[in-house]
Each structure stands twice: as C-alpha cells, then as structure tokens.
C-alpha cells in the first residue's frame, strides 16, 4: 500500500492548484488522475486576470499559446454590446499538463473507484492510504460520490450541458463573442480564439430548462454552426463533444473531516457565465491552506459570479436558472 499525507484525486486546475500549494508548504502529496497528461478536456479555455493572479502566472513565462482579448462582445438578439475588458485564452490540452507539472507533485495515472474511511484517514482502492483527501475529480469525482453525496448533493436545476469543438482555424477576429438566449436557449454560445491559429466554439445551457422546453442541445448547435458558416465564413470541420457540469449551489462548505471537495467536484462554476477554472483554482488553494494552516475551508473567497455580483449577475443568474436553488 502506497501512503502519502495528502492524496489529490484529479489533476485538473483544482487538483494541480491544491498540489502546488501543498508541495510549497512541504506537505507530502500524490496526485491520482485516470487520464495520461496532456489530456483532452472540453472547455473554451477563457481565463480571467484573477486566474493569472491566483496562479502567479506571468504570460511571458507560459511556454504555450496564450492570447489576450481587449474586448468581450455580448450579443443579445439584435443588441451588440462590446465591453472593454482584458481577458485571456489558453488551450486546456496544454494548460492543464503544464499546471500539473509545475505543481511539483508526483502524479500517477490511476482511475479511482473505491474510497473508504480508515480511522482518521482514507484508503483508496486498497492501494493508497492518506491522512487528507482532496476531491478534484470534476463532475464525476469519486470523492463526491463516496463521501459527499448527502451533504453536498447534486442540484439538478443547476446542471449545465455543453457542446464544444476546438480546431485549427485562421481566425480574423481576435476578440471573444458570446451570444445569449438565441432562439430561446437557456444559456449562450461562444467564439473564443486561441493563439497559434486555434478556435474554440461551443454552446451551453441549463439542462433541466432545456428539457422542459422539449429541446436537444444539438438543435441549437446546428443553428450556431450555420450562423458561423453563413455570417463569419467559418467552416466547422467536425462534430462537437459533449460534457456536463454544475454551477454554484447553496453549499458554503464542502469538507468532512480530512476530506475536501474542490472545483467542479463541488459544483463551483459561476452562476452568471458558468466560469469554472478560476473557482477551481481558488478552491484548490483554499483546501491546501486548510490542511497546512488549519484554516477554515469555506467558499466565501471563491467567487460565484463572473460579472461582479451586481445587477447584471443577478439578471443572468435568473435568466439561466429562473431562481432555482
């Protein structure tokens, strides 16, 4: 049986942020991920300035493609609102592998299936033992299933569904575009250019409201695809991939003894723009702080709003979820 003081399940942004903070504090950490990195992760890869600050990341030191937009373009029916805002994009295929390596933590490819408490620690698949366990395994995190199913249940009304495709494309427009509520979609679609000639397009919506409308996301994808082809001359070369995750619910702490939930495992994406990378990183760092310094693990420092939490956030949240909590 291999032992470590802390085992982190999942090597995405939440897991690698936690691992890096723990390694820096001298803790003994092991990261388990079922995938071999670099691995494909469906995500538009938009990151905020807060992410760079939290990661202490200077874009000049980042060895892969990194693009900054000067404007975000919000589209609502015929309304077009360009907002001056410095935001960034990366490719998750590159970013996640780089973050995990930068954490300095050893990692193993292992699909975690079974977790049980053992005294004041945990045993995983009868192969690994730890005192502290960080669940950073995304939507299907086995730590959430084994230890938090009742205290931090999934709230169906807060589930998103997405379709997305990233492909090489010689884009001309270097800004990010978001189209809200087209044809009644309870969500939005996006165009996110990336450095070195990559483009990410996709569509996301609240699963239950979509179902209530008797619709399938693929119908909306077809609409997006034909609009991009007709208006922007972007030929979409392939079929999209699908993924589901949860936006922030009412739970304010996701800790049970020595076990913590972070990122998508805890359902922390923002309720207005469904941004999950920043909350994943911040919550991973907070879990590490709680282990190292004995501080509280609460989610107050992890934002639930991308648009500042004011009127715009509240309206967007309402428009997506119709107030479901």
Ligand X SMILES: Cc1cc2nc3c(=O)[nH]c(=O)nc-3n(C[C@H](O)[C@H](O)[C@H](O)COP(=O)(O)OP(=O)(O)OC[C@H]3O[C@@H](n4cnc5c(N)ncnc54)[C@H](O)[C@@H]3O)c2cc1C
Residues that bind ligand X (CB under 6 A): 9-15, 32-35, 41-46, 111-112, 136-138, 140-142, 162, 164, 202, 243, 245, 263-265, 269, 275-278, 280
Give dist(CA 275, CA 242) in Å, integer.
Answer: 17
- Under 8 Å between Cβ of 141 and 261: yes
Instruction: Identify which of residues 136 and 234 has a Cβ nearer to ligand X in the complex.
Output: 136
Instruction: Identify which of residues 233 and 254 has a Cβ nearer to ligand X in the complex.
Output: 254
- Under 8 Å between Cβ of 267 and 155: yes
Q: What is the nearest approach in angstroms of ligand X to the Cβ of residue 202?
A: 5
Give dist(CA 144, CA 224) in Å, integer.
Answer: 34
Q: How far is CA 144 from CA 19, 95, 168, 278, 281, in A?
A: 18, 25, 36, 20, 18
Task: Kindly state the tokens that stand for 25.
Answer: 């504090």
The 3-state DSSP composition of the chain as helix, strand, coil percent (nearest 5) reads 30, 30, 40
Pairing of strands 46-47, 79-89: antiparallel
Instruction: Identify which of residues 53 and 230 has a Cβ nearer to ligand X in the complex.
Output: 53
Instruction: Identify which of residues 123 and 294 has a Cβ nearer to ligand X in the complex.
Output: 123
Q: What is the nearest approach in angstroms of ligand X to the Cβ of residue 51?
A: 8
- The candidate with the shortest Cα–Cα distance to 132, out of 285, 273, 308, 8, is 8
Q: What is the nearest approach in angstroms of ligand X to the Cβ of residue 114?
A: 10
Instruction: Identify which of residues 46 and 233 has a Cβ nearer to ligand X in the complex.
Output: 46
In degrees to the nearest 10, what's the CA dihedral of 27, 33, 38, 41?
-120
Instruction: Identify which of residues 39 and 131 has a Cβ nearer to ligand X in the complex.
Output: 39
Q: What is the nearest approach in angstroms of ligand X to the Cβ of residue 78?
A: 25
Instruction: Identify which of residues 32 and 254 has a Cβ nearer to ligand X in the complex.
Output: 32
Angle at 302 between CA 297 and CA 305, to 5 degrees: 150
Q: What is the nearest approach in angstroms of ligand X to the Cβ of residue 43?
A: 4
Q: What is the nearest approach in angstroms of ligand X to the Cβ of residue 115?
A: 10
Q: At 15, phi and psi to the nearest 5? A: -65, -40
Q: What is the nearest approach in angstroms of ligand X to the Cβ of residue 44?
A: 3
Name the residue whose CB lies closest to ligand X: 276
């Amino acid at each position: 049986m291999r032992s470590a003081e802390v085992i982190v399940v999942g090597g995405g942004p939440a897991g690698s942020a936690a691992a890096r903070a723990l390694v820096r504090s001298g803790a003994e950490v092991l990261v388990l991920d079922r995938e071999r990195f670099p691995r494909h992760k469906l995500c538009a890869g938009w990151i905020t300035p807060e992410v760079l600050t939290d990661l202490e990341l200077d874009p000049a030191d980042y060895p892969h493609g990194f693009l900054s937009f000067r404007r975000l373009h919000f589209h609502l029916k015929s309304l077009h609102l360009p907002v001056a805002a410095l935001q960034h994009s990366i490719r998750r295929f590159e970013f996640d592998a780089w973050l995990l390596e930068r954490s300095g933590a050893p990692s193993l490819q292992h699909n975690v299936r079974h977790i049980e408490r053992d005294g004041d620690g945990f045993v995983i698949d009868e192969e690994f033992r730890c005192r502290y366990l960080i669940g950073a395994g995304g939507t299907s995190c086995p730590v959430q299933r084994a230890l938090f199913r009742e205290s931090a249940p999934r709230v169906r009304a807060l589930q998103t569904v997405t379709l997305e495709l990233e492909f090489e494309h010689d884009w001309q427009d270097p800004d990010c575009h978001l189209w809200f509520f087209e044809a009644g979609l309870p969500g939005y679609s996006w165009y996110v250019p990336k450095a070195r000639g990559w483009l990410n397009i996709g569509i996301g919506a609240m699963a239950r409201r979509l179902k209530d409308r008797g619709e399938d996301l693929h119908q909306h994808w077809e609409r997006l695809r034909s609009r991009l082809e007709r208006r922007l001359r972007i030929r979409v070369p392939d079929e999209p991939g699908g993924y589901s995750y949860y936006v922030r619910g009412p739970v304010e702490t996701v800790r049970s003894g020595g076990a913590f939930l972070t990122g998508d495992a805890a359902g922390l994406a923002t309720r207005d723009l469904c941004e999950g990378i920043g909350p994943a990183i911040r919550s991973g760092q907070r879990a590490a702080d709680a282990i190292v310094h004995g501080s509280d693990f609460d989610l107050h420092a992890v934002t639930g709003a991308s648009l500042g939490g004011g009127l715009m956030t509240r309206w967007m949240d309402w428009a997506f979820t119709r107030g479901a909590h």
